[in-house]
Amino acid sequence: MRCRIGVIAGDGIGPEIVREAVKVLDQVAVKYGHEFDYTELLLGGASIDVHGVPLTEETIQAAKACDAVLMGSIGGDAKTSPWYQLEPSRRPEAGLLGIRKALNLFANLRPAYLYEELRGACPLREDISAAGFDMLIMRELTGGLYFGARKTEVVDGVRTAVDTLSYNEQEIRRIAKRAFEIAMKRRRKVCSVDKANVLDSSRLWRKVVEEVAADYPQVELSHMYVDNCAMQLVMNPAQFDVILTENMFGDILSDEASMVTGSIGMLSSASLNDTRFGLYEPSHGSAPDIAGQDRANPIATILSAAMMLRYTFDLDKEADAVEAAVRQVLKEGFRTGDIRSEGCTCVGTAEMGSLIADRI
Ligand code: IPM
Ligand code: MG
């Protein structure tokens, strides 16, 4: 198969983790007889440095011409980086939000899985971590507070800021459908998370999710308020299969879910639209404090590449091989610094990538 893959190395640790994911993909290409063509794309701080803006039309068009995009991470240290002297709409994060919107990537899948080998890193009580967990957060990514009208003004001498949280039924329906379809391939449970005791947008969310659920009688649907969900994630994470939620709640809950795995350096993500196109990136940030030191964990990016093989290219066997290689390397006791434990062999970013590629 011939695949056109856009590559956004990005900022901070982005370039070094993406390099390892490409190393693994190249091994997949050799082993399974595929051809991966890579196109380098600029986004975030790397784009500001060259073009003065975090996202250009050129990047959008080049991304659209690819089948999928693999991304490292964008952004820098807000205290020291000159990027953060710019107005908010010109900072690295604006580039990320812009590309999500421009490519209509409304469905953000963030799996949070407790690896047997990394159970020791789980910050939860042992009786809770012993049950394990394997959930997928399905976050709406192009609506809600992130994209509603906002303004800051002085009203009667008082500084006032407004953000708008709005959803229409179409936006809710398409993400809900995605959640149910994915649940059908998993444990057939969807927990829809909202704040329907307070917000109109959540009350509509709940109604539309129930309408969609009628088409998926095999899937068990439950509803949960977001504050309760934040609590349940640390009390009993094993109860969750697919968590379906709006943009802002999903941003917050997905960080919480990743932290309870104890290893944010392991978590992949996919942002999809209604075609086969996807933007694949690790769930973690750009970690500028350790950039360029061969200390970053490339596994989240490598697992994001596996999601790309699975969701965009339908290459399930190849995706399985990448995931199995990651598990094998962990089983053999290799760890990057962020997930190190006693008796394990600590390796750098590049060596971790090579160890995984060797096991494909
Ligand atoms: C994420 C990030 C982004 C978001 C930031 C960098 C704008 O936190 O992908 O979760 O809030 O969506
Ligand atoms: Mg976030």
Predicted confidence band of residue 34 (pLDDT cuts 50, 70, 90): very high
If we measure between CA atoms, which residue out of 228, 312, 323 comes closest to residue 266?
A: 323
Tens digits of per-residue pLDDT, 305-348? Answer: 999 999 999 999 999 999 999 999 999 999 999 999 899 999 99
**347, two tokens:** 């390796």
Give the pLDDT confidence score for residue 107 in this predicted structure. 98
Q: Which of 82-96, 114-128, 170-184, 287-301 has the lowest mean pLDDT?
A: 114-128
* CA gap 226, 237 in Å, rounded: 14
List, chain by chain if needed, residues with CB within 6 Å of any ligand 1 atom: 93, 96-97, 251
Tens digits of per-residue pLDDT, 247-261? Answer: 999 999 999 998 899
Q: Which domains does the chain have, with CATH numbers?
A: 1-114+264-360 (3.40.718.10), 123-134+166-260 (3.40.50.2300)
Which among 11, 195, 216, 241 is annotated as catalytic?
Answer: 195
Percent of the chain having pLDDT more than 70?
Answer: 100
**Which-ligand-closest: CA of 75?**
1
* CA gap 161, 151 in Å, rounded: 6
Q: Cβ distance 110 to 281 under 8 Å? A: no
DSSP assigned state of 216: -
Residue 227 falls in the annotated catalytic set: yes
Burial 256-285 (b: 16+ CB within 10 A, else e): ebbbbbbbbbbbbbbbbbeeebbbbbbbbb
Is residue 14's pLDDT more than 90? yes
**111, two tokens:** 């799996």
**Which-ligand-closest: CA of 252?**
2
Atom of ligand 1 nearest to the CA of 141: 12
Predicted confidence band of residue 275 (pLDDT cuts 50, 70, 90): very high
If we measure between CA atoms, which residue out of 318, 321, 134, 137 comes closest to residue 239?
A: 134
Return mean pLDDT, the chain: 97
If we measure between CA atoms, which residue out of 263, 257, 221 comes closest to residue 237?
A: 257
Q: Cβ distance 17 to 266 under 8 Å? A: no
Average pLDDT for residues 139-157, to the nearest whole number?
A: 97
**61, two tokens:** 């068009």
Q: Give residues with Cβ within 8 angstroms of 231, minimum separation 6.
A: none
Give the pLDDT confidence score for residue 24 in this predicted structure. 98
| Radius of gyration from C-alpha coordinates of the chain | 20
Average pLDDT for residues 198-222, to the nearest whole number?
A: 98
Average pLDDT for residues 276-285, to the nearest whole number?
A: 95
Tens digits of per-residue pLDDT, 68-115? Answer: 999 999 999 999 999 999 999 999 999 999 999 999 999 999 999 999
* CA gap 183, 148 in Å, rounded: 29
Give the pLDDT confidence score for residue 96 in this predicted structure. 97
Average pLDDT for residues 344-360, to the nearest whole number?
A: 98
Q: Provide the β-strand partners of residue 279.
A: 69, 271
Q: Cβ distance 93 to 43 under 8 Å? A: no
Atom 11 (ligand 1): residue with closest C-alpha? 251
Atom 4 (ligand 1): residue with closest C-alpha? 251
Atom of ligand 1 nearest to the CA of 100: 12
Is residue 262's pLDDT more than 90? no
Is residue 47's pLDDT more than 90? yes
Is residue 198's pLDDT more than 90? yes
The SS3 call for residue 158 is strand
Is residue 264's pLDDT more than 90? no
**Which-ligand-closest: CA of 281?**
1
* CA gap 110, 309 in Å, rounded: 16
* CA gap 47, 30 in Å, rounded: 32
Give the pLDDT confidence score for residue 181 in this predicted structure. 97
Residues whose beta carbons lie less than 5 angstroms from ion ligand 2: 251
Which among 37, 163, 227, 314 is annotated as catalytic?
Answer: 227
**290, two tokens:** 């350790």
Give the pLDDT confidence score for residue 314 in this predicted structure. 95
DSSP assigned state of 229: H
